[in-house]
């Protein structure tokens, strides 16, 4: 079965079968979007909450433009927005840096932004594995819609 | 005017940064040398402007487990320094300082973790002091924090902090040679774009 790797600020789609994987999510978030009827799945790896770039050359770096563009691409393949569900993982705080500066809460801001964008786009969030202080590798099986989260020194968790 | 993005840097500026990096890392190597009682050298350090994913791969891959020690820089420069130690380095350090080694990161006790943080702290502060003396720029490093995890997630910390206007990150650092053996210990300086401009200006090569 085909496995596709999604880098930072990247997105890939698969249809019917295949595994989408993104490695070492820290404060970044991996968003799995899935149309269960057509088995169209996508995985986006976002790094920041909101796109404020002037020329928007990296839409997948940001939660807002990343999710929206992915939904559009899924719809172009025939997916229906009303059927699409989401699962997300990431948003950790890797270092216990003192103070509550922009660095300390990037993970939390990413989680909040992903939640908000999904809500605005009418996408149901069915499961999440977010926050904490550990990095996550996320596997997403497009045939079943099942996610797996791998954490260093821990058993794998179903998503 | 200055740079808007890391990728706009020119080769003269890269050479100057490499020179600063060279002095900073050689000071750090000297501290490490006196701590370990071994000869520590650092070959010519590298200055690289890399796309996010390339930067992680260059540093040893996303899922490689490392101990990362991070310190935030403030003052006239904002940025971060990150020291990455793999298990081999940790054992080398523990063996020299405490006469013991561990098979896995999970065996590290609190005292041993503190010792590792302290080594990271020494490397980072020596580097920062050298940088500060050389350029006359005031830099205050924060109390360092440690994480033991996939290094991809730790390297994305400075990327996320400065990733708003660029898909590239500047890494300045090098790999240490202890008794001529290459050890996977990396010291990285990641400034924000504004601080990089200020640094270049102080060096007389800003735009």
The predicted model gives A61-81 an average pLDDT of 96
The predicted model gives B133-153 an average pLDDT of 92
Q: If you count residue pairs, one on A and one on B, with CB atoms under 8 Å apart, how many are there?
A: 99
Q: Judge whether residue A89 has pLDDT over 80.
A: yes
Q: What domains are defined for chain A?
A: 3-158 (3.30.1330.200)
pLDDT band at B66 (very low <50, low <70, confident <90, very high): very high
Name, in order, each residue with C-beta under 8 angstroms of B52's C-beta and a sequence gap of 6 or more: A7, A8, A9, A47, B156, B159, B163, B167, B168, B169
- In this prediction, residue A100 carries a pLDDT of 52
- In this prediction, residue B165 carries a pLDDT of 67
- In this prediction, residue B65 carries a pLDDT of 94
- Distance in angstroms (rounded) separating the CA atoms of residues A34 and B91: 45
- In this prediction, residue A98 carries a pLDDT of 66
- In this prediction, residue B179 carries a pLDDT of 81
pLDDT greater at residue A99 or residue A30? A30
| Closest C-alpha among B20, B54, B35, B37 to residue B136 | B20
Please name the helix (run of DSSP H) or strand (run of DSSP E) that holds residue A68, with its range, or none. helix A63-76
- In this prediction, residue B1 carries a pLDDT of 54
- In this prediction, residue A102 carries a pLDDT of 57
- In this prediction, residue B183 carries a pLDDT of 76
Q: Judge whether residue A153 has pLDDT over 70.
A: yes
The predicted model gives A42-64 an average pLDDT of 91
B residues 65-94 near A, CB within 8 Å?
65, 68, 70, 72
| Closest C-alpha among A153, A146, A154, A155 to residue A21 | A146
- In this prediction, residue A104 carries a pLDDT of 64
pLDDT band at B163 (very low <50, low <70, confident <90, very high): confident
- In this prediction, residue A53 carries a pLDDT of 77
B106, closest residue in chain A (CA to CA): A153
Q: Judge whether residue B138 has pLDDT over 90.
A: yes
pLDDT band at B127 (very low <50, low <70, confident <90, very high): confident
pLDDT band at B42 (very low <50, low <70, confident <90, very high): confident
pLDDT band at B10 (very low <50, low <70, confident <90, very high): confident
Q: Do B150 and A57 touch (CB under 8 A)?
A: no
- In this prediction, residue B207 carries a pLDDT of 67
Q: Judge whether residue B139 has pLDDT over 90.
A: yes
Average predicted confidence (pLDDT) for chain A: 93
Please name the helix (run of DSSP H) or strand (run of DSSP E) that holds residue B145, with its range, or none. strand B145-150
The predicted model gives B96-120 an average pLDDT of 91
Active-site residue identified among A11, A13, A14, A28: A28
CATH class of the domain comprising B6-202: alpha beta
- In this prediction, residue B20 carries a pLDDT of 83
Q: Judge whether residue B169 has pLDDT over 90.
A: no
pLDDT band at A39 (very low <50, low <70, confident <90, very high): very high
B104, closest residue in chain A (CA to CA): A153
Q: Judge whether residue A55 has pLDDT over 80.
A: no
Task: Please indicate whether residue A28 is annotated as part of the active site.
Answer: yes
pLDDT band at A1 (very low <50, low <70, confident <90, very high): low
Residues B56/B155, Cβ–Cβ less than 8 Å: yes
A interface test, pick of B63, B145, B152 with most A CB neighbours within 10 Å: B152
Chain A partners within 8 Å of B146 (Cβ): 95
ipTM, two decimals: 0.90
Chain B partners within 8 Å of A25 (Cβ): 153
Q: Judge whether residue B202 has pLDDT over 70.
A: yes
Residues A124/A36, Cβ–Cβ less than 8 Å: no
Q: Judge whether residue B184 has pLDDT over 80.
A: no
The predicted model gives B163-190 an average pLDDT of 79
Chain A: residues touching B (Cβ < 8 Å): 7-10, 23-28, 47-48, 52-53, 57-58, 61, 92, 94-98, 101-103, 106, 133-137, 152-153
- In this prediction, residue B194 carries a pLDDT of 87
Name, in order, each residue with C-beta under 8 angstroms of B200's C-beta and a sequence gap of 6 or more: B2, B3, B13, B16, B17, B206, B207
Chain A partners within 8 Å of B72 (Cβ): 97, 101, 103
Chain B partners within 8 Å of A57 (Cβ): 167
Helix ranges (H only) for chain B are: 11-36, 52-58, 87-98, 110-135, 151-162, 193-202
């Amino acid at each position: 079965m085909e496995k596709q790797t999604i880098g930072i600020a990247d997105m890939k789609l698969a249809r019917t079968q295949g595994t989408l994987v993104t490695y070492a999510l820290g404060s970044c978030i991996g968003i799995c979007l899935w149309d269960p009827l057509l088995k169209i799945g996508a995985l986006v790896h976002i790094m920041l909450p909101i796109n404020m770039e002037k020329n928007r050359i990296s839409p997948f770096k940001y939660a807002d433009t990343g999710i929206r563009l992915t939904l559009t691409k899924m719809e172009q393949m025939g997916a229906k927005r009303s059927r699409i569900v989401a699962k997300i993982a990431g948003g950790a705080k890797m270092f216990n840096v003192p103070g509550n500066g922009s660095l300390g809460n990037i993970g939390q801001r990413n989680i909040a932004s992903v939640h908000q964008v999904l809500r605005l786009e009418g996408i149901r969030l069915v499961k999440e594995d977010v926050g904490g202080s550990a990095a996550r590798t996320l596997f997403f099986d497009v045939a079943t819609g099942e996610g797996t989260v791998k954490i260093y020194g821990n058993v794998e968790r179903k998503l | 005017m200055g740079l808007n993005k890391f990728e706009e840097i020119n080769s003269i500026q890269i050479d100057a940064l490499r020179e600063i990096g060279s002095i900073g890392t050689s000071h750090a190597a000297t501290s490490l040398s006196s701590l370990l009682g071994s000869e520590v050298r650092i070959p010519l350090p590298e200055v690289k402007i890399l796309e996010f994913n390339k930067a992680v791969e260059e540093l040893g891959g996303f899922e490689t487990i490392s101990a990362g020690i991070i310190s935030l820089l403030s003052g006239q420069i904002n940025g971060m320094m990150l020291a990455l130690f793999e298990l081999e380095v940790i054992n080398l350090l523990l063996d020299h300082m405490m006469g013991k080694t561990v098979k896995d990161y999970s065996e590290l006790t609190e005292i041993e973790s503190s010792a590792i943080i302290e080594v990271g702290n020494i490397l980072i502060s020596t580097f920062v002091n050298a940088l500060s003396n050389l350029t006359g720029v005031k830099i205050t490093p924060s109390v360092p924090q440690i994480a033991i995890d996939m290094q991809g997630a730790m390297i994305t910390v400075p990327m996320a902090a400065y990733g708003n206007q660029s898909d590239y990150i500047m890494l300045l650092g090098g790999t240490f040679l202890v008794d001529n053996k290459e050890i996977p210990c990396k010291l990285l300086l990641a400034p924000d774009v504004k601080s990089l401009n200020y640094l270049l200006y102080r060096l007389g090569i800003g735009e």
